[in-house]
Structure 1
Amino acid sequence: MRLESVVPLIPAELVAALDHSCGIRTDTDLLFFGSSLDIIKKLPLGTVTLSDLEKFTELVAEQASVPGHRGDEILAGSRRISEKHSQASCGVKELDDLVGGFGDSRVFEISGAKGSGKTALALQIVIQGLLADADSCALWIDTSGDFSAEKTAQLVRHFDLAVSDKLLERLQVSLGFNIEAVHDVLDALRNSLSSSRTVGPAVQWIVIDSITPLLLPSLSAVSSQGHAMMTTFMRRLRELAQTFGITIMVINGTSAAAPFNQSSAFASTNRKPALGPSFTFMTDCTLWLSKTKDMPDSEGPFSVHVAEVFRSRATRSRIWCTFQIRHGVLSSTIPDL
Structure 2
Amino acid sequence: MRLASVVPLISAELVAALDHSCGIRTDTDLIFFGSSLDIIKRLPLGTVTLSDLQKFTELVAEQASVPGYRGDELLAGTARISEKHPQVSCGVKELDELVGGFGGSRVFEISGAKGSGKTALALQVVIQHLLSDADSCALWIDTSGDFSAEKTAQLVRHFDVAVSDKVLERLQVSLGFNIEAMHDVLEALRISLSSSRIVGPTVQWIVLDSITPLLLPSLSAVSSQGHAMMTTFMRRLRELARTFGITIMVINGTSTAAPFNQSSAFASTIRKPALGPSFTFMTDCTLWLSRMKDIPDPEGPFSVHVAEVFRSRATRSKTWCTFQIRYGVLSSTSDL
User: TM-score, normalised on structure 2?
Assistant: 0.81
What corresponds to 2:239 in structure 1?
239
Check the 8 A contact 2:139/2:171 in 1, yes or no.
yes
Check the 8 A contact 2:100/2:315 in 1, yes or no.
yes
Report SS of the residue matched to 1:91.
coil
Name the aligned partner's letter for residue 324 of structure 1.
Answer: Q
In the TM superposition, residue 55 of structure 1 has moved relative to its aligned partner by 4.9
Computing the radius of gyration over CA atoms, which structure comes out larger, 1 or 2? 2
Matched, 1:75 2:65: no
Check the 8 A contact 1:87/1:132 in 2, yes or no.
no
What corresponds to 2:257 in structure 1?
257
What corresponds to 2:191 in structure 1?
191
Report SS of the residue matched to 1:317.
coil
What corresponds to 2:329 in structure 1?
329
Name the aligned partner's letter for residue 273 of structure 2.
Answer: P
What corresponds to 2:270 in structure 1?
270
Name the aligned partner's letter for residue 98 of structure 2.
Answer: L
Residue-by-residue CA offset, 1:254-303 (whole Å, 9 max, x unaligned):
00000000000000000000000000000000000000000111111000
Distance change in 2, residues 1:67/1:142 (3 Å): farther
Check the 8 A contact 1:138/1:172 in 2, yes or no.
yes
Report SS of the residue matched to 1:198.
coil
Report SS of the residue matched to 2:198.
coil
What corresponds to 2:140 in structure 1?
140
Check the 8 A contact 2:144/2:210 in 1, yes or no.
yes
Distance change in 2, residues 1:201/1:267 (3 Å): same
What pairs with 1:133-212 in structure 2 (closer than 5 Å)?
Answer: 133-212=133-212
Check the 8 A contact 2:87/2:104 in 1, yes or no.
no
Report sequence identity in percent.
85
Distance change in 2, residues 1:117/1:295 (3 Å): same
What corresponds to 1:225 in structure 2?
225
Report SS of the residue matched to 2:287.
strand
Partners of 2:65 and 2:222 in 1: CA distance: 24
Partners of 2:174 and 2:206 in 1: CA distance: 11
Residue-by-residue CA offset, 1:294-332 (whole Å, 9 max, x unaligned):
011111100000000000011000000000000100000
Partners of 1:82 and 1:309 in 2: CA distance: 22
User: TM-score, normalised on structure 1?
Assistant: 0.81
Name the aligned partner's letter for residue 215 of structure 1.
Answer: L
Runs of 5+ in structure 2 lacking a partner? 7-19, 30-61
Partners of 1:209 and 1:190 in 2: CA distance: 20
Name the aligned partner's letter for residue 203 of structure 2.
Answer: V
Name the aligned partner's letter for residue 146 of structure 1.
Answer: D
Name the aligned partner's letter for residue 276 of structure 1.
Answer: G
Name the aligned partner's letter for residue 127 of structure 2.
Answer: I
Name the aligned partner's letter for residue 296 of structure 1.
Answer: P
Give the 4+ runs in structure 1 shifted more than 6 A.
Answer: 62-65
Check the 8 A contact 1:92/1:330 in 2, yes or no.
yes
What corresponds to 2:304 in structure 1?
304
Distance change in 2, residues 1:305/1:53 (3 Å): farther
